[in-house]
Structure formats: structure tokens, C-alpha cells
A and B are shown apart, each in its own frame.
Chain A
């Protein structure tokens, strides 16, 4: 599903965020991406999302070489991916429901169909009762779950998460991780960036370790 071939990313400031990264993540696989902050986790996810382009090397997602996608094709690439953001990126000027339905409106679903799917996604993360609440009134854990509902509402082939448990206590983190495991069981490819080593060890899935932009271990089992 994801393939990195000798990928490097340097910024204009001279900082090398990633150097010579190569790995592959198969369809239906789940993996963690670990490393200290600044190790290049976010940069790697941004390359998959085409929020940034690599300086050298190739990134392939679903057998599509991202270098061949031009500006106008980026939206359609992103629609295949669901993303859970570190600070959830919810919009506080609208309800939980309207946050979750946004990707579907963008993809052009009819209002009725979109409503049905959005409620199914909210149900999956256990927040259907909060659909008409403004997300600002929710707890951090609930906000993160709304973010997850929005990431999976359009049934993406690939689910990315950037520190999805960053602000949560251990119990809530486990809850969230169990959600990701469940999506993976249903065939979604999942890649989660996290520095919560304790949690990762308990989860027992493949772990890619980054340090200063280099891939230390692939951890393939």
C-alpha cells in the first residue's frame, strides 16, 4: 500500500528531516512509526499525504507514484486516505455531525447518504449521542474520537494517525488504539505515528523506528 524508495527530504533551512528512507507497508497491514519528536515522523506522513514532496527518492501509495500526481490530482489522492491529526483539527464553528460529514460533502455524496454514513462513523466511535454538540464542549478524548470518525467516514483504504493519543491518559489511549485495531481487522491499512513506547510494546504490531531522519529498524515480524 505504501512504498518508500530511498526517500530524502531537506528543507530550505538546510535541515534534513528524512534521509534515505526505504520501507514498504502492505495492503491490510498495520504499523507504528516511532521516534522522538523531530525524528521525522510527521514529515514522513506529510509525504504520504502530499502535503510535502520529497527532495529525492520516490513515494508510492496504492501503486501510484506520487511524483506523477500534479496539483489538480492531489485532492483525489487525499480522498483515498483518512487522517487523524495530532490536535484533531476540528472546526469549532459547527457541530460534531457537521465536522464528520465534511469529507463526504467534499466527495460529493448526497446529503441523505452522507448523513447516514456520518452517523454510522459516529456510532463506531461511540459518539452518536453527541452529534449535535459543538466539539468545543467535548473532552479531549471525545474530540480525538470525533477526529477519528471524520478520518474513517469515507471508508479510506489507508488510515494515517499522527500522535493520536498525544494528550490522552493511558486508559483512553488504549481505547483509541483498540479502535485502530478494529479498523485494521476490517481491512484498512493503518500507519500510526507515536512516541508512546509502552503502548506500542503492548500492541505487538510492526514498528518502524526513526532517529534523526533515518530508519533504525523496520521491526518486520
Chain B
């Protein structure tokens, strides 16, 4: 009736087969069941799993440390799988941070013909100011434009060699809130004015950026789902290997009346530990990536005379990362143990 698991280990020494029972020894009361003896403590911590959840968690952690190299490798795989979508997400978050400040109010710049003189430009500007659908109209005359160009670009000397002012008068317009289609209509309408050489709507490239971001966002979600599945499978498989190594124990425990829950519990803790450790290490990888990016990003934003702070994952996002990882660990372990328990069910 017994399974044949122990047959291969039957080679126990027969030794002295004394019939008379060995003399009784005085045993200290209540000592070893709780593992209070210092010498036996570490060993018995690996023996059975008590009802105390914290004790079970510690036992499961101690089991991870039994093979530290294998455990580290598994955790590294989990961390990388979690950090990849994490880094992409943080990158998107930072690009959003920049692009929303640009996107805030779409503007139309009217570049007037060079032949238009200041009074004509001022008249057009006044006319535009009266329009209901425009919130703000600002005229930069050819002379002001030249001054701005001189002070900002540092090419002032080159301009003076030209002998004439190549800067057109510009009217900057901030329309009232309106839809993208209306904005484009407004831009086309303004461009029809004979005084206007070009009406440029600075929204178009923001739109392009936004759709590119949307594609990247979708990719991040897809990558996140795929790598989340990978985390689930890695933890499930690791727990399966751990089950295999405790096969005898599980078979015996089931035969003497262990419930599925009793067998499952230590492995759930194992899965949870892998999830938490993988999540924390994944977070560490994201932070490391941000630190490596920080210097070049500061340099870049310095060139744009822009104070830009690289954002990392905040508290909520960090909790979501580690929580998801923990959940995947639990699910992976649950599935692995349930599959095994079903395989030893009576038929």
C-alpha cells in the first residue's frame, strides 16, 4: 500500500537488532517540540510548518537560502522581467510630464509678408483682437523681432552684415479653447489673408508626438502583460521544482491526513517571497537605470535652458509594482501546488 518512494533508500544499516527495549533516558520536558534547544533550532525550523504565519514565512525564507545561487538567479530573472516594462513606463511618464507643459495651449504664429509695414501689421493685430474666438493676440514688430533674435541667438553680428532686417513681423495668437479640427480650420482661414505669409499651428508636431506616445504606451502594456505572464511561469516552475524535492514529505503528509491547504501553505509563502524579492529588486533596477540616465538628461535639459527633474516611480507606483509581483507569485505557487495535488488524487 505504501508508495515505493523509500525503496531506494532502504539501505539503512541493520545494525544491532536488540530485542530488549533500550533503557529510557531522562528527556527535558517540552524542549524539542518547540525547537527551543539552540542546537536543534535552525534544523527544526526546516522541519515542519507551524500554525504561526510568521514562523511559516521564516521557514519558507530559510528554504530559499538553502540554495542561494539558484534563488538569486530566479530573483534576477524576475527583477529583469519586472524592470523592463517598469523602465518603459517611467520613461513615458517623464515624456508626458514634458509634453503636457507644451500642449497646454495651442498657439498659431502668423508670419507676415516682409512687404507688410508696421502700421498694416498693427491694424491686422487690432482686427484680430476683436475676434471672439481668440483669447490673446500679441504683435511682434519686425524691429522687436530683430532685437529678440539678436539677444537670444547670438547671431546678431551676422544680421548686421546683411544690411537689412530679414525678420518678418509675427502675430502670436492664442485661440479660445476649441477642438483640434476647429484649430486647423482657423489656421487655414488665417493663412488666406493676403498679409500673412504663413500661419503655423504648433499643435501638429505635438499631435505627432502624442500618437507616437500612444503607440509606445500600448507597447508598454503589451510588454507588461507578457512579462507578467513570464513572472507567473517562472515562479510557478520554481515552486514546482521545490515541490519535486519535497515529494516524499508531501506523500507522507497526505497519507496521514494533511489537507490540501496544509500542503499548499508553505509553497504559497515561497511564491510570495519570490514575488516580493523580485519586485523589490525590479524596483532597484528601475532606480539604477534612472540614476544612469539622470546626468545626460540634466545635460540635455540644460541645453534647452529648462529645469527638468527626472521622475522615478512614486510610492503608489512602487506599491503597485511590488504588489503585482507578490500577487503573481501567489498565483504561480497556487497553480503549481494545485496541479501537483490533483496528480496524486485517488482514482
Q: Is the CB of A115 within 8 A of B33?
A: yes
| B259, A75: Cβ atoms closer than 8 Å | yes
Determine if A88 and B6 form an interchain contact, defined as CB atoms under 8 angstroms apart. yes
* Contact between chains at A98 and B9 (CB < 8 Å): no
- Confirm or deny: A143 has a beta carbon within 8 angstroms of a beta carbon on chain B: yes
Docked CA distance A85–B4 (Å):
10
Taking a contact as CB atoms closer than 8 A, the residue among B15, B19, B252, B260 that contacts A102 in the complex is: B252
- Stretch with Cβ within 8 A of B (4 or more), from A42-50, A180-188, A198-206, A210-218: A42-50
Contact B248 A91 (CB under 8 A): yes
Does A115 contact B48, Cβ atoms closer than 8 Å?
A: no
Asked if A78 and B255 make an inter-chain contact with CB atoms under 8 angstroms apart, the answer reads yes
B174-198 residues at the A interface, CB under 8 angstroms: none
Which residues of A from 90 to 122 have beta carbons under 8 Å from B? 90-94, 97-98, 101-103, 105-108, 111-112, 114-116, 118-119
Cβ B6 vs Cβ A89 within 8 A: yes
A88 to B12, CA, bound (A): 12
Interface residues on A, range: 35 or more
Q: When A98-B44, A105-B50, A172-B17 are in contact, do A89 and B23 touch as well, CB less than 8 Å? A: no
A121 CB, min distance to chain B CBs, angstroms? 13
**B249 interface residue per 8 A CB criterion:** yes
Is there a chain A Cβ closer than 8 Å to B123's Cβ? no
- Is A138's beta carbon under 8 Å from chain B? yes
Q: Nearest-CB distance from A191 to chain B (Å)?
A: 11
In the complex, the answer to whether A102 meets B4 with C-beta atoms within 8 Å is no
How far apart are the CA atoms of A111 and B255 in the complex, in Å?
21
CB-defined contacts of A92 to chain B, threshold 8 Å = 9
Sorted from nearest, which 8 A-B pairs have the closest CB atoms? A115-B33, A126-B21, A85-B2, A79-B257, A78-B257, A162-B1, A103-B256, A139-B15
Interface residues of B (CB under 8 A from A): 1-7, 9-10, 12-17, 19, 21-25, 27, 30-34, 40, 44, 47-51, 248-249, 251-260, 262, 345-347
